Amino acid sequence: MNANIRDYDTDKPIILETGKPPIKRETEITKNEQGKISEKQESELQDIILQMKCSFDSLATSFNNFQQESVKSEIVTETKPTLAWWQKTLIWCGAVFIALIIYALYKTIKQRLNTFKNGKN
């Protein structure tokens, strides 16, 4: 029985012809008639398994960090600072005051226009 194990170099760009990244290492495992593999091939397999475990652990750590960062950003966006009651009241009072000034100016201008029209004609 033969088995080929290909370790792809995912840090490099994908080859357009194959649609896969370049091969970093290719290992061929063959069993003899008794169904056993050689010690050299067994050590190669153990190295490959160890590298895959390290890669998986690294991916899992990166994924956990990504999840924690997204939770932090969600918390930050949910806790937006709002104005205190007295700040809102102050804004409303200022808006009412400005509206009263505009109304008083309107009445004054209207009264002076009427006086001007009535007094000059």
Helix ranges restricted to H, 1-121: 39-78, 85-120
Label residues 83-96 b or e (16+ Cβ within 10 Å = b). Answer: eeeeeeeeeeeeee
pLDDT tens digits, residue range 29-57? 666 655 666 666 677 777 777 777 777 77
Greater confidence (121 vs 59) lies with 59
DSSP-derived pairing of the beta strands 2-8 and 23-30: antiparallel
pLDDT tens digits, residue range 99-113? 999 999 999 999 988
Question: 5 and 29 in contact (C-beta within 8 Å)?
Answer: yes
Using CA atoms, how far apart are residues 15 and 120, in angstroms rounded to an integer? 92
Greater confidence (87 vs 15) lies with 87
- Phi, then psi, of 38 in degrees rounded to 5: -70, 160
